[in-house]
Amino acid sequence: MTSTVPARGTLSQTLRSGRPQKPRTAGRSALQAVFLDMDGTLVDTEGFWWDIEVEVFASLGHTLDDSWRHVVVGGPMTRSAGFLLEATGADIPLAELTVLLNDGFEERIADTLPLMPGAARLLAELSEYGIPTALVSASHRRIIDRVLTSLGPQHFALSVAGDEVPRTKPHPDPYLAASAGLGVDPLRCAVVEDTATGVASAEAAGCHVVAVPSVAPIEAAARRTVVPSLEAVDLAFLHGLMTEVR
């Protein structure tokens, strides 16, 4: 099936058809959709972002403290870049800095885009059984479109970028936008995230969260399940999260 990457600046949708029915593991599951974060969840790129930030600030004459990595991971570009500007005192406008960071990231992923263990298998399974799936990221549309080319846009009914919502993660807006776009109830959706920022966003929207920690640990909580990797997540597992939903 041929898919086109939509224009920048809008919520993107890819139509899908001809999917088999849900497997018997679904039973009477209340699961309506699955929302997936991108960096650090599906693609092993959190380290790429930090490397680019280190390189860009080095070119500006500043050295980043490695402890700051936990502060900037998982957040929107404006927040992470803004924090680093304040921490270093670098003399560069925020808008110019974000362009440099996005340019550097695009150049880095042009050569390689490693998937997280279990990502390809999970996407294939969700696609095979026609589970409505959305990619929800704090990254900008220009970055999401590049990554979608490698992930396979046919796996996603919708994608939401950080520069397309009034407030991005940790606010609930991205996941509320995904829910509205797919016409589903957030309470009946499972979200897979790798950072505390993303987890906070999904939980604020009312979704059940599967946390797969990448850079910093995440504790289990009500409506939050922590797993060591995506290899522990399959469709039966996601349906099982919805057992308490009526």
Catalytic residue IDs: 37, 39
Q: How is residue 43 annotated by DSSP?
A: B
- Rounded Cα–Cα distance for residues 9 and 116 (Å): 27
The DSSP element (H or E) to which 73 belongs, if any, is none
Extract the tokens encoding 200: 């906070």
The DSSP element (H or E) to which 35 belongs, if any, is strand 33-36
- Rounded Cα–Cα distance for residues 113 and 117 (Å): 13
Q: How is residue 118 annotated by DSSP?
A: T
Pairing of strands 208-211, 189-193: parallel
